[in-house]
Structures are given as C-alpha cells and as structure tokens.
Amino acid sequence: MGYPFVEIDLEKIAANTRLLVELCRKQDIQVVGVTKAFCADTAIAQTMINGGVQMLGDARIQNLRKLREAGIKVPFMLLRIPMPSEADEVVRIADCSLASEFTTMRQLSQAAKKAGYVHNVVLMVDMGDLREGVVPQKILPLVQQSLLLPGVRIQGFGVNFACYAGLIPTPEILNNLVSLTQEVREKVALELPVISGGNSANIELLLNGGIPAEITQLRLGESILLGRETVHYRPIPGAYQDAFILHAEVIEVQEKPSASQGEMGRDAFGDIPVLEDRGIRKRAIVAIGRQDVTLEGLQPLLPGVENLGGSSDHLILDVTDADNVISVGQELCFSIEYGALVHAMVSPYVSRVYKYPENYCCG
C-alpha cells in the first residue's frame, strides 16, 4: 500500500455505533447513520449497520446510489434538501428526504407520481442555526400547501444544530420543536411520527437526559466515526477516538530558519503567513498537502512533533523536539479531525486500509 493512506479500524467504528445506538434505544430514539464524511464507503456503511443502525443518511444522492447498487438493504435518507433537478432520482433511490421548499416538494410529488411511489419527507424547521429550514411560524402554511401534493407523505419535522451558525441544542429549543409538532398535528390531523431532533451536537444532551421524550430520531455521523460530541469536542465515555489514522511518508528533513529572511507576500492560497522566529529548527516535509486533506485537522501522534501547516502537496512539521530521530522515508501517523477526514476520503490520492473485525458481516 502506497502513502498516504487512512487506516480504518472497523471494529472501533462498530463499537462506537453499538454504544450510541444503545444510548439512543434507551430513550426510544432511532439513529440515522450519516455516511457523508466517508463518501458512503460500503465497508464503513455496513459496519454501521452491523452495529445496529437501521437507516443510513447522506447529503449526496450519488452516495446513496452507490450504497443501493452495493446491495445495502436499509432505508436511505437524503440529508441535503433536494435540488429540483434531481427529484426523479431522489424518489427512486431515497426512502426519505429532508425538505423546506414547496417548489421542491412539488417536483418530488410529480416524480413520485410518475414512478408510482410514495416519497417520505421530513420538513426542516430553522430554530436558529440559520441553515436549511423554514422559520417556525411558516411551517403550518407549508404543511397545508403540501397536503395537496400526491405521492408525498410528510413524516414529521426536523432541526439542525451547530453547522452554520453554531447553534447549540438545548432542551428548550427541542421542546419548542415538539410543541410545534403537536400544534400542527392538531390543526391538520396528521400523525407526524418523526421528530428528527438533530445530530452529533446533541450527544451531551443525550448523555445528560436532556432530550425530550418526544424526540424520535438523531442523525449521527461524527460521534460514531470519531467518538465525540461536536459542540465542545469532548470524547464520548466508552467510545474510541482513533478509528481513523492517517499514515504519510517523510520526504525531507532539514535544519532551516523558522521565519523567512526576506519580504513576505501571499502564499499559494492567498493568505499572508505569520511565522514566529524561533531560530534554526529541524523541519520535516511529509508527502501530503491541501489537495488531499485539511492540514489543520492533522495532529501528529509522535510526541514532540508540531504541525506547522503546508501547501498543496507538502505538510511541514517541526521535529526538533521529537521523541525519535526523524529521517527521510519514515512513516509518520496522525489523528484526523472531521473536516480533514472528509477531504481525505474524497481525495483520489489518499488510499484506504481496513482493519476488519473477525466477525465482520458484509451484508
């Protein structure tokens, strides 16, 4: 296996999945396993299913198509509100989608009617994260208008947290969503069985018993993959944080000044570097760059090694204080943050190596 590559420990992902599914089960909450961070890699998706997830969700219909073609049997949820132009494929591949626009609902209705399907929809309510969703006072008119559309079934309401505006979930916000659902149920006589209460930002509430009993669903990705909640990035008790490790090769080791000796302009990405002058330091270059991964999301696992940043193709490290002598051709390992994981899994230049558990089931 050539460098760089991500080592993926499927047993740790399965263990994290089992832990979170059980925590949610105790509160009658269904887990939607979110596959977008790993581009719906079928081995990881199947590992989530083996761990107890009964529905998978992704933001790209292409990823759901890949899972469907691989023979994955569980229901699929499209997490990004659909583009009207993809409505035909959405109703064919996804069992459910999130929605917020009547125009898109109408396109889904026409596509579902043409295909002879009934497509399930969860309407998103913007409770303050300022991403997708209608404001609460407009949800009832949207429901009433959408009831006239054949081929579309409104399953319930959903909310998003800590993605765009960084809104932190609270019991008060979730109770407001529950109250809104109950109000609409009474006014339009709909069952609305799904209240999709958020994502991995909700984990602290889940652990502390702060999620209202009426919440029926959470959409979990990062908490399963990296074993932490996403508000304060605290580890989840009993979960693994090292299911993904990036391996890369050293291609240069030199002693150099720590700050440029000449006039400085913008770097290759248009930023003006700020370099601290620490004198002559030993620096190593690793063969991976911004074209492959978000460099700020890599943490060297060898003590004493410092990530200085890099360019399109190079990661620059300060190895002056490294516990071991660093040499050209050596492998260095890094923990990987969520954003870096997303980019690494997208990059055609980063390979994947799997550690399979003994009892791995491929579906």
DSSP run (H or E) holding 17: helix 10-25
Tokens of residue 156, six digits: 């319930």
d(CA 91, CA 72): 17
Measured distance CA(214)–CA(73) in Å, rounded: 27
Beta carbons of 132 and 98 less than 8 angstroms apart:
yes
CA atoms within 13 A on the CB side of 14: 18
277 in helix, strand or coil?
coil
Residues near 36 by Cβ (< 8 Å), separated by ≥ 6?
57, 58, 59, 60, 63, 79, 221, 342
Active-site residue, selected from the candidate residues 12, 26, 36, 114: 36
Contact between residue 67 and residue 74 where contact means Cβ atoms under 8 Å apart? no
Residue pair 83/127 in contact by the 8 Å Cβ criterion? no
DSSP code, position 325: -
CA distances from 187 to 27, 182, 190, 215, 268 (A): 27, 9, 8, 20, 57
Active site residue 256: no
> To which H or E segment does residue 34 belong?
strand 30-34
CA pair distance 53, 17, nearest whole angstrom: 7
Positions annotated as catalytic residues are 36
